[in-house]
Amino acid sequence: MLKLYTDAATKGNPGPSGAGILIVGHGEPVEQSVALPVMSNHQAEFRAAALGLEAVINQGWQDEQVTLITDSQLVVDALDKQYAKHFAAEVTAIVQLADQIKLVIPTWRNDHNNRRAHELAQVGLHAAEKRLAN
């Protein structure tokens, strides 16, 4: 079983954003920091989850059971219900990705239990801020 930790960081709401992804369970952990465009915090959390699911697929691990761990209750509820008011496109994107994976178990954890993904999201946010400044 894989553990996929995702988090987003946004400065302002909306504002420049970053995503952090950590995948553990297959040898060395896979870590990604991604600079995102200006978006709301909720949009960034959905994008972080989508990027994490894409990373699982790109690694060729879609036949694995994946526990998706996020500090966004909205993302967890959206995956469970396949619906989130005002975020239909985002929900469709993550559901389509999750459908390509054997089993995705969305799990909420507070940010203290999602620390590394949070740190990676901060790196992505700083890169997004630098990109906007140039």
- Grade residue 10 by pLDDT with cuts at 50, 70 and 90: very high
Residue 112 has a pLDDT of: 82
CB atoms within 10 A of CB 100: 12
Instruction: Indicate the pTM of the whole model.
Output: 0.96
Residue 111 has a pLDDT of: 81
- Grade residue 79 by pLDDT with cuts at 50, 70 and 90: very high
Judge contact between 72 and 117, C-beta under 8 A.
no
Residue 108 has a pLDDT of: 96
User: What's the pLDDT tens digit per position in 84-132?
Assistant: 999 999 999 999 999 999 999 999 998 888 999 999 999 999 999 999 8
Structure tokens at 33: 């920091």
User: Distance (Å, rounded) from C-alpha 133 to C-alpha 11?
Assistant: 14
Residue 134 has a pLDDT of: 81
User: Distance (Å, rounded) from C-alpha 41 to C-alpha 106?
Assistant: 18
Average pLDDT, the chain: 96
pLDDT(43) > 90: yes
